[in-house]
Every structure is written in C-alpha cells, then in structure tokens.
Chains A and B, each alone.
Chain A
C-alpha cells in the first residue's frame, strides 16, 4: 500500500526521481491503450525497459519537456493482490485529473495498472508496471508518467 500511495504522491508532487525509485533495477514500465494491449500491438505511449530508461524519463519530464503548467492528481482504487512466488501480482484502477489555468478540472485518462511487485531489502518495488488506459484519445499530451 505504501508503494502505491508513494508512487501517486511522487507523480502528483512532481518528484519524478522519487517516482523512478519506485522501480527495481530491471523493471519494465509501459503506458499503453486498451486497444494496443488487447490487439497485442507492441507500441507504447511511454516505454521503459530497465531502470536507466525510467530514470531518463524522470529527468526529461522535469527538465526538457516544455508544457503548460498544470496540477495532476492520481486516484487509485480497487487494488487486488495475488501472491506470486517471491513477489505479488497486483491490479488497480486509476483515474487522473488535471487542473490547468483557465480550465476546469478535467479527466485526463482512466485505466488499470497491471503490476508485478517485488520485495527489495526493506521495501516493495515495481518489477513491472503496465498502465492500460481505457482512454484512446489523450487530451493534448501526456506530460508526465502515469
């Protein structure tokens, strides 16, 4: 649970390196649509294969992306956990809300996380997180990881 709340808080507060540190060394992170996922199409809106790419995504998100200012908020619910060998298979639903200047708060996307969580020393980490969005048409851009 701590992992899930820390993950959302890191993103919502723009602490992208803390977001990256929720992943294990060889972790995979993908953001894709339900359409790609169900049809087995491999392209992902964000695709990180290893912690190096996850760290790079954290850096570019805060340092090189030019975007309009906004507040993002992750609402995560319906967490379902299954023990799986030395780790856990977890699914959870998410909703992301966005608040921008001169705009009402709006929904950016909804979807579900398909995760594998492992224990590393004293904390839980994502070994794999695949974010599958119901949303097929993203509003403007996806300025941060999900």
Chain B
C-alpha cells in the first residue's frame, strides 16, 4: 500500500507576502536526522552563522606556514567571509588581523601574497605594522595649524582587528574570539591524531592553488566530506578504480562534539558481489586507463589506510587521498554560494619522483578533478532544489538516527553529528 507522505505546510513566510516576516526557525522533531532546508537558504541564518560560528570561539584555517616562510611575508585570507591578512612577523611568529582599515574600513591589502615591512591603506595612508597596529597617519597634526586629529586622539586605540593565532606543524589557524580553547583541546585527541598524521612536523612545500566558486551553501561542502555513502554511488572514477568503495575496510570517526570528522578508507580489493550489485549504475567495467600512473599509491604513512579526509570545523577539509595532499579552505559567500580555495602541498623532503607524482595525481581533485567535479556540480543542483522548497527538510537516516562512530561508510552519521553541533551553536 502506498504510504501518504505529509509535506510540511508552507509557513507564514510564504503566505505573508510583502514584508520580511519573522521566520519560525523550528527544527523538525526528528532532530539531527532531519535538516530543514532553510539552513541553506535563509539570510538571517547566514548572518547568525557568521556571528556565532566564524566570529565565535572556533579555530578557522587561514594559511600554511610554507606560504609565508620569511619575516614580512603575508597572504590574504578569510575567516568565514571576513577578509584578513596573515603575516610572518620579524621575530618569526605569525599574526593575523582584519583586512579592513581602522579608519574607514577599506580592505587595504589587495595583493594575494607578498612581502612587506608595513601596510599602508591607499585611501588616507593610515599605516600599519606587521601586528596590525596603526603606526601613523598623514596630517595627524593638521597643516599650518588647521585640521588634524583631536589632541586626545590616541593611535593605540586604533588598529586592524586582531585575531588570535595557533600554529601546529605548519598549519595556521586563527580566531576572532580570544576565549577560544587551545587548538589541541579544540580538535580533541582523535582528530589531533589524524591531523598529526599528515602534519607530522616535516617541512611542507607549497605546490600551488586552485579556486572555485560553487553556487551552493557552504555546509553542503562539509556534508559532502562527512557523507561517504555518496562516494560509492556518485563517483564513477573512484568506484571503478577502487580508490573509495563501500566494500573496502573503512570508518567514520568524530570528535566528542560531532563538529569535526574523519573519513577513513582503504583501497578496495576484490569487489564484493553484493556491493557490486548496489553500485551497478556506477561501476564501469569497460573503463581502463591508458596511463595508470595517476592511480599509483606510494606508501608514505604508517598502516594500510590510503585516504583520510578530515573535516575541521568550521572551514577546513584536510585532503589526503593516496598521495595527493591539500587544504580545502571554505569561504562562505552568502547563503547560496561559497568559494573553495585548494592549497596543494607536499613535503620539502619529497623525492623528485614523489613530487612529480603528487602533481600528476592532483588530476583527481580540484575544479576539474576526476572525482571532485561531480561533487561541486551536485552542490549546485542541491541549492537549486532546496531554495524554492525551503519549507521542506532533508533526511539523513542512513545507518540510524543517532550520533556515534561507525566502522563502515554506509552511513550519514557524521552529517547528523554536524547538525547536532550546529543546532547547539546556532540555538536552533
């Protein structure tokens, strides 16, 4: 017998044409196994995310140390959608401050990267040291006795808004909220182990950048890396070549809060018949690569795990798939769009062969990646589907309705973990 599906009634927002009515942000009763679509579409939710998450007590990824190796080296970066500057100070420490002039708000740093002794805003030439302190401004005392700042104007009261910074084995994180816990405590022991697996203290080498703007909510990107279940179905390339498959030994792990996650996979061996049947639309038995070097796996970490994708709340995905390593930095651009900045790297002590291999294997990833194109395309389709139907909710019930670690990847548990945390932070 056909079961009747009851759609939620369109709320007041839909019928109350004209003004912007107060939205009832009522999370569905089923809890974290349901995701109301307004979390992907609503301006007010977006504003609250920026305030509570990106300006809140969280560590956001901002740069790699190898991007700014020398004193004075700087890089433009973002925490949420807030532009910042990350700088190597003369004493070797790393500073971060808002890229917004203390005077009238101009985003004074307009170079992607560079080396500077100081920064000067182009508008009224307020100048800054490498800590973001205002060090001077023209006409402070006026000209010929006229104009100038008031006598009690105190330079020290004006500066580019500082962020606290934490550096761990070559990766730089920052927070607008100085009350944030230590980075180690923030990651928790489990995720810290996975973090240190890639960032093991060896010097890193910057290999280059890829950037894309995806017209889908930023949380779709996080969900994607917390949902290994899709990988066995959407990604023909992965499945066909066994790089990621649900019949391979795998796991999904989270920190205690559910905000961070690790998707752990081993390459598939002989394809299991049941799995093959479920993935029949994805498997391409006719597909053979002429040049299989892109698939080569050079063992470089202890154990037999071949891929660990870490989602570090709120803006980072650490990619280790075979020998391709990258930081995927999320920059939200309003409810319906986000930028993804990929920074590819290797280790400074890589052999020339390994370095060449990493560059070759990068074909798997990025805006044209054999695998990642599928994801970015699907995120746009997601946004197209949820925006007009934002009175509905998504279902995340694969492998249950609760949150705990799973020793397989036929699960959406980490998506539930994410929303369990999200609801708490957002007060939803």
Contacts and interface: CB of A to CB of B under 8 A. Distances in A.
Interface string A25-55: 0000001110110010111111111111101
The size class of the interface chain B forms with chain A is: 35 or more
Interface in B345-374: 355, 359-360, 362-363, 366-368, 370, 372-374
Given A64-B284, A136-B211, A138-B212, A45 B373 contact: no
A51 B370 CA distance: 17
Interface stretch (B3-11, B31-39, B286-294, B298-306): B286-294
B377 A53 contact: no
Interface stretch (A6-14, A65-73, A81-89, A119-127): A65-73
A41 B207 contact: yes
A138 B291 contact: no
A77 interface: no
A64 B370 contact: yes
A57 B237 CA distance: 11
Contacts, number: 124
A43 B294 contact: no
B209 interface: yes
B381 A50 contact: no
B112 interface: yes
Nearest to B384: A102
Contact of B294 (A31, A56, A141): A56
A117 B373 CA distance: 30
B100 interface: no
The size class of the interface chain A forms with chain B is: 35 or more
Give the most central of B206, B294, B362, B373: most A CB within 10 Å: B373
B391 to A, nearest CB: 21
B208 A140 contact: no
A63 B215 CA distance: 24
Contacts of B213: 137-140
A142 interface: yes
Give the most central of B240, B339, B366: most A CB within 10 Å: B366
Contact of B359 (A42, A51, A57, A136): A42
Contacts of A102: 384
Nearest to A41: B208
Contacts of A44: 208, 359, 362
B95 interface: no
Contacts of B344: 43
B60 interface: no
B376 interface: yes
A51 B290 CA distance: 9
Given A42-B208, A46-B368, A141 B377 contact: yes
A107 interface: no
Given A44-B359, A68-B377, A142-B367, A60 B209 contact: no
A96 interface: no
Given A47-B363, A63-B287, A141 B209 contact: no
A125 B362 CA distance: 26
A37 to B, nearest CB: 9
A70 B407 CA distance: 39
A65 B371 CA distance: 7
Given A45-B367, A46-B363, A55 B290 contact: yes
A95 interface: no
A43 B367 contact: no
Contact of B368 (A31, A42, A66): A31
B64 interface: no
Contacts of B384: 102
A43 B362 CA distance: 7
Contact of B234 (A39, A51, A66): A66
Interface in B230-268: 234, 236-237, 240
Given A52-B289, A141-B377, 15 more contacts: A36-B209, A42-B359, A47-B359, A47-B362, A52-B291, A55-B290, A56-B290, A57-B363, A59-B287, A59-B289, A137-B213, A138-B211, A139-B212, A141-B373, A143-B377
Interface of B: 112, 206-215, 234, 236-237, 240, 284, 287, 289-291, 293-294, 339, 344, 355, 359-360, 362-363, 366-368, 370, 372-374, 376-378, 380-381, 384
A-B pairs, top 9 by smallest CB distance, nearest first, are A43-B208, A52-B291, A41-B208, A142-B368, A52-B290, A64-B236, A66-B374, A36-B208, A138-B367
30 contacts: A32-B208, A33-B209, A33-B210, A41-B206, A42-B207, A42-B359, A43-B208, A43-B362, A44-B208, A46-B368, A47-B360, A48-B363, A49-B360, A53-B293, A56-B289, A57-B363, A60-B370, A63-B236, A63-B284, A65-B236, A65-B370, A66-B234, A66-B374, A136-B209, A136-B211, A137-B211, A138-B212, A138-B213, A140-B377, A142-B373
